[in-house]
Amino acid sequence: MRRSSVSLNITSPPRQNQSRITPYLICFAMPVRPIIPMTLFSALKAMKRGFIAKPHTADCLLELYGETPEEIFDQSARALLHEMTGRSPEQVAAGKTISYDTITLHAPSLPWLLVDWLNELIYRYDVRHSYTVETRINRLECSPANQFTLHAEIGTVPVADDLAQIQFKAATYHDLRFERTPDGWIAQVVLDV
Amino acid sequence: MAEFRVPTKRDLRRIGDFCYEVPASFWDRMRVPARLYASETILDQILQDKSLAQLVNMATLPGVLLHSIAMPDVHQGYGFPVGGVLAADTEEGIVSPGGVGYDINCGVRLLLSDMQRQDFDKRATVQLVERLMRTIPVGTGEGSPIKITKRELDQVAREGAHWAVRQGYGEPSDIEHIEDRGRMDEADPDCVSDRAKERGYVQLGSIGSGNHFLEVQYVDRLFDQQAAQSFGLAENQIVILIHTGSRGYGHQICTDYVRIALESAARYGISLVDPELACVPFSSPEGQRYYRAMRCAMNFAWANRQIITHFVRQVWKDLYGTERRLRILYDVVHNTAKVESFEIEGRRVKAVVHRKGATRALGPNHALTPTPYKHIGQPVIIPGSMGTASYVLVGQSFDDTNFFNSTCHGAGRRMSRHQAKKKIFGEKIDLRDALEQEGIIARSQSKAGLAEEAPFAYKDVDEVVEVVEYAGMARRVARLRPIGVIKG
């Protein structure tokens, strides 16, 4: 699995995002009960990279961690695939030929760019019948007018019906977060099942 | 302007046996009260998630008429709760893509057979369920069983079930037994993105995953003999319930227009308390484009359920002979926004009635009640979860502004998908075997998909429909129980 290893030239996020920074421990004190043991929380915090799927009445709430915003996008693709198949990208890709494609997306904020990114992957699943098993965020830029652009390369494999568990309708804007914290970056997105 | 505070039980005012209200004075952004229909048990379940806060948020939207409403099966969604109803003035009010939801015209259709429960022992049920599973595309990866051109997809978007029947997927009489006769006028495919069309093109005629399913059921109990007779329902009769919607076509239309509404709302002076409440004035160019695109998705969903009906009928004839028929009782819509008119404070008002996880429930002699049921009221079909009952109700409303001619749409989740899976896998429950012990043959593409929809993840559907009846929304006619389930 290739990791995001390119140099990143993102500018600072808009001030409004900075001012809404939520300390890490407050996130963990939210009244939503985690579905994984606290030891794993601690491990994730130490790694500063990963994802957690949290209980949400009918849908799926993903919490994403990364040292950089690019890692948030990377982790969101892993989380999406995990929720769809119950497996890691490496497991889904095993023994399969990977096809590569590039994606460029524009949005007026990082949270909206995350929604667009996930909706792009959901669309490709529906129409091209493919799982995204690799992501490389080549460039994440913020223009002076606060327009965010994502340039990414993705690797996909054909859907195997025996892996399929659930299908997502869309990524939503509900309870959407994408923020810098003292320990790195954290994002939250609800997917409609 | 006051900060939002999450409403609690103490903020509710009881205004009827099964009706509670958060008064508009609760928060200065509320334009009308927020109304909730529930029993005490259901109320306690509803208060476990964010449904009530979301109901209060709905009451802040411009042009909202009288009250925002939560049905007894309400559960937390995004923006609107699922089980939420909001009527907005067509002149001064809004239309909200998120207020309809991503699965536009998610709905259910009930097919009535002339076979009996005693015709289906375990072997016969397994044979039927496995044959249906092989024939009907169900689950995440399954695409369209039919080939259409992109031009034909636009015809589907304009004509709905009528297109499907014209292509041979059904009988002309089917049309009379579908809400709005299976077609919304003013559907304009030019308002639908290429991306939505691509998603729809590969999925027409498929059930999908999530809570969508096809069930073989029998009539377990009759509550209203006269209505049952009018509907053609008898005890032990075998029926088929189809639950699906507009698939990726509708999901993409919602995605596209939520974004457009988010970008446009401020321009119309609309301040949102939750981005998924994104809305624009109904009369604005964006509002009208969404309304026309949303109608395309409604038509797509009706064509979808019509094509699935055709394949179910083929299986039926192959297994039981060509003289065996499956007649549509009715086809109802769960996620929609429709313009309907109501008498409010002495004047006739046209309203965009958003029903997100709610069913229209018209009584006798209403102009929109379908002709075959004009004398008694429309059938309302309430799907339960597999392993529990579903219901057929009869509508009672006639321009009722207490619930804007609406009722519930199912049992309503009370446990998250993760919690349901954790319980099943953690306790090593073989759900398929457990259901089989109850006499229910279940087949699913994935064990996880089945586990997420386990019966205990839902509220008690019996209690939900009791509230519906006692509140005067609709009357119970028949209870149905499953013997076969196919799921994604």
A15-29 pLDDT, tens digit per residue, is 333 323 222 222 222
Return the biggest CA–CA distance within chain A. Answer: 47
Q: Is the pLDDT of residue B74 over 80?
A: yes
Collapsing DSSP to helix, strand or coil, B415 comes out as: coil
Active site positions of B, annotated: 409
- The pLDDT of residue A41 is 53
What ipTM was estimated for this complex? 0.87
Split into its structural domains, chain A has a count of 1
Provide the shortest C-alpha distance from residue B276 to chain A (in Å): 5
Tokens representing B377?
Answer: 């009221």
Strand blocks (E) in B191-245: 213-222, 237-244
The answer to whether residue A43 is domain-embedded is yes
In order of B64, B117, B441, the CA distances from B95 in angstroms are 10, 45, 42
Q: Report CA dihedral (B428, B244, B44, B424) to the nearest 10 degrees.
A: 0
Shortest Cα distance from B449 to chain A (angstroms)?
6
B113, amino acid identity: S
Instruction: Give the model's confidence band at A145: pLDDT under 50 very low, under 70 low, under 90 confident, else very high.
Output: confident
A2 lies in some domain: no
Residue list for the binding site of B: 103, 211-215, 243, 334-335, 383-386, 390, 409-412, 487
CATH of the domain at A145: 3.55.10.10
Q: Is A193 close to B210, i.e. CB distance below 8 A?
A: yes
pLDDT digits 0-9 by tens, B357-390: 999 999 999 999 999 999 999 999 999 877 789 9
In a domain, A31, yes or no: yes
**Closest Cα to residue A73, out of A132, A159, A14?**
A132
Rounded to an integer, the average pLDDT of B167-176 is: 97
Average pLDDT over chain B, rounded to whole?
94
Residue with tokens 């609709």: B474
Q: Which of B51, B251, B409 to mutate to test the interface with A (most CBs of A within 10 A)?
A: B251
| Cβ-based contacts of B139 with chain A (< 8 Å) | 161, 164, 167
Q: Indicate whether A33 belongs to any domain.
A: yes
pLDDT of residue A44: 56
**Residue A12 confidence (pLDDT) above 50:** no
Strands B34-37 and B68-78: parallel
Residue A9 domain flag: no
For residue A10, CA distances in Å to A64, A182, B121, B155 come to 19, 18, 65, 46
Give the B window 418-477 contacts with A, CB below 8 Å: 418-419, 422, 445-446, 448-449, 452
H or E stretch covering B423: helix B417-426
The residue-averaged pLDDT of A25-36 equals 32
A10 part of a folded domain = no
Q: What percent of chain B has pLDDT over 70?
A: 99
Assign residue B386 a region (left: φ > 0; alpha: ψ between -120 and 50; beta: otherwise): beta
Residue among A159, A161, A172 whose CB faces B78 most closely = A172
Distance CA B166, CA B325 (A): 19
* Whether residue B127 has pLDDT greater than 60: yes
| Chain B nearest C-alpha distance from A6 (Å) | 30
pLDDT above 90 covers a percentage of chain B that reads 81
Owning domain of residue A37? 15-192
pLDDT digits (tens, 9 = 90+) for B311-335: 999 999 999 999 999 999 999 999 9
Question: What pLDDT score does B191 carry?
Answer: 98
Cα B461 from Cα B432, distance rounded (Å): 21
Tell me the CA end-to-end span of chain B in Å, nearest whole number.
47
- The rounded radius of gyration (Å) of the Cα atoms in chain B is 21
Euclidean distance between CA atoms B133 and B178, whole angstroms: 25
Beta carbons within 8 Å of A115's beta carbon, 6+ residues apart: A107, A171, A172, A173, A176, A189
Question: For residue A55, which residues of chain B lie inside 8 Å, CB to CB?
Answer: 416-419
SS3 at position B281: strand
Mean pLDDT calculated for residue range A82-102: 93
Question: Which residues in chain B have their CB less than 8 angstroms from residue A119's CB?
Answer: 255
* Average pLDDT rounded to a whole number, residues B113-129: 97
**Number of CB pairs < 8 Å for A and B?**
130
Structural domains of chain B, with CATH: 11-487 (3.90.1860.10)
DSSP string, A97-126: PPEEEEEEEEESSHHHHHHHHHHHHHHHHH
In this prediction, residue B460 carries a pLDDT of 84
- pLDDT value for A30: 31
pLDDT, position B425: 80
**pLDDT interval class at A37 (50, 70, 90):** very low
Q: How far is A7 from chain B (nearest CA, A)?
A: 31
Please say if the pLDDT value at position A11 is more than 70: no
Contacts of A169 in chain B (CB under 8 A): 102-103, 210, 248, 251, 254
Is residue A8 in some structural domain? no
> Token pair of A43, please?
């491990």
Determine the average pLDDT of the residues in B392-410: 92
Check residue B42 and give its pLDDT: 93
- Position A24 scores a pLDDT of 27
The answer to whether the Cα torsion of B401, B404, B405, B407 is positive or negative is negative
Q: What is the pLDDT of residues B103-118, one digit of tens each?
A: 999 999 999 999 999 9
Q: Report if residue A88 sits inside a domain.
A: yes
